Chains A and B, each alone.
Chain A
Amino acid sequence: MDVTMTVNGRELTASVPPETTLLKLLREDWDLTGAKLGCDVGDCGACTVLVDGTAVNACLMLAGQADGRQITTIEGLADLDAFHPLQKTFEDLAALQCGFCGPGIILAAKYLLDNNPNPTTAEIRDGLAGNLCRCTGYTKIIEAVADTAKELAAQSAA
């Protein structure tokens, strides 16, 4: 089947079998390998992307369901010259270690902050409950999201 969607602001098309997931489409047809294949059943969150601004597991969505929609992957957040504030804070705090979970965590955090710019620690934990990290123990990740919220608030006040 043919699918067309706007990925990180660019319109892309592909012809794929109907059983193709959005994750496979992104990674294998369009070489957007930021979203990771982890558990492949919606438990680990490594494949998190934004579809029409909403965080979803790309492993649990068919390419056909994403047809016509707006997709944001980690590649769309920033380039090497200008990090997204979340990426900058994660780097400053060394909030990631191996980094495999990072794209999913940062997109889940973006979805959280887009909908709740001033989250409590409990709300940050809830917002990241669908993202597993086996390296860090989460402490610095949660600090990085909280710091980004403060940073964004300061930016918008300035």
Chain B
Amino acid sequence: MKPFEFIKAASTEEAVAALAEHGPGIRILAGGTDLLVDLKHAGQSPGVVMDVSGIDDLGAISVDDDGLHIGAGATHTAIMTDPLIAEHAPAMIDAAHTVGAVQTRNLGTIGGNLVTCVPSMDSGPVLVALEADVILAGASGIRRLALTEFFVGPRKTILAAGEMLVDIVIPKANLGKPAGFIKFGLRKGQALALVNAASAAWIEDGKFAAPRIALGAVAPVVIRCEAAEAALDGQPVSDAVIAEAAKIAAGEAKPIDDFRASKSYRLDLIEVGVRRTLAAAAGLKGE
């Protein structure tokens, strides 16, 4: 790694002030599982690296009238073992469990996973299916926006200079919404997703209500499959209805061919993933 100055922020306020002071030359270190790899390969020094892992409330998980708050600094291991997550958004546990391996889950944070913003991120799809918002802090204050607006492109978020992601909120209306997540990789551990799929839906009188389908690793950013959702909304729960929605969802994705998998294989995986996660959300036994 090229030489840099190392500072520790004791509070979010201090971190935001340091971002303003140091300008674009500063990098935020949360878990470090992405950042240190980047810095080892970087040709030039980042200038300043600011450790935010010591900010206790940045990793807090809590519930209030707004919904379920997951601090950006919460590690994947913390998410897997938190009783509030288990109660209100258990699909997040399944997603967190697929990140890297034990050692990386112990260090890596959900905020870091979202900010790094690779298309194959494992934290995105469940949060998108549960219509999460993100809260960003900067010198000019706080702003809140939908997670889908936060993702701009591969490794590119809407974060402006001097801003940091501080909180993720699953809205109260979606707490306990039945949801499912599945990751397809070449292995179970230490694998990048070929396809990530998440679905959430209420089931009212045997019918899908407000279904949400999100996919990762099949487009530049994590996407919602709104045509499939519209086709599903109000339909009776059945294997045929689910299979039709899965076909439509595959049509909304734009997977690529690469050395890990072909486009056509990924399209097949999308259908299987959407079917299985919808079945899980609907309480069906599934395939």
Contact = CB atoms under 8 A, between A and B. Distances in A.
A56 B36 CA distance: 14
B103 A56 contact: yes
A60 B36 contact: yes
Interface stretch (A25-33, A77-85, A125-133): A125-133
Interface in B52-72: 53
A40 B107 CA distance: 15
A145 B53 CA distance: 32
Contact of A126 (B32, B36, B77, B189): B189
Given A41-B40, A60-B32, A130-B190, A65 B53 contact: yes
Contacts of B53: 65
Given A56-B107, A129-B190, A62 B102 contact: no
A19 B32 CA distance: 12
A61 B107 CA distance: 9
Interface string A128-158: 0111000000000000000000000000000
B29 interface: yes
B8 interface: yes
A128 B47 CA distance: 36
Nearest to B77: A54
A21 interface: yes
Contacts of A42: 33, 36-37, 100, 103-104
Interface in B12-55: 29, 31-33, 36-37, 39-40, 49, 51, 53
A34 interface: no
A126 B102 contact: yes
Contacts of B87: none
A117 interface: no
Contacts of A130: 100-104, 189-190
A19 B101 contact: no
B145 to A, nearest CB: 30
Q: How large is the interface on A (under 10, 10 to 19, 20 to 34, 35 or more residues)?
A: 20 to 34
Q: How large is the interface on B (under 10, 10 to 19, 20 to 34, 35 or more residues)?
A: 20 to 34
B158 to A, nearest CB: 27
Given A18-B5, A41-B40, A42-B37, A57 B104 contact: yes
A43 interface: yes
Contacts of A62: 6, 29, 32, 36, 49, 51
A60 B33 contact: yes
A45 B33 CA distance: 13
Contacts of B100: 42, 130
Given A17-B3, A18-B4, A55-B106, A60 B37 contact: yes
A147 to B, nearest CB: 20
B188 to A, nearest CB: 7
Nearest to A57: B103
A64 interface: yes
Contacts of A45: 101, 103
Interface of B: 1-6, 8, 29, 31-33, 36-37, 39-40, 49, 51, 53, 77, 100-104, 106-107, 188-190
Q: Considering the complex of A and B, which 9 residue pairs feature the smallest CB-CB distances, nearest first?
A: A129-B189, A130-B101, A18-B6, A19-B1, A129-B101, A130-B103, A57-B103, A41-B37, A64-B6
8 contacts: A18-B4, A42-B36, A42-B104, A55-B103, A56-B103, A60-B107, A64-B6, A127-B102
Given A19-B2, A48-B103, 10 more contacts: A1-B6, A18-B3, A18-B6, A42-B36, A42-B103, A57-B33, A57-B107, A61-B36, A62-B29, A130-B190
Interface of A: 1, 17-19, 21, 40-43, 45, 48, 54-57, 59-62, 64-65, 108, 111-112, 125-127, 129-131
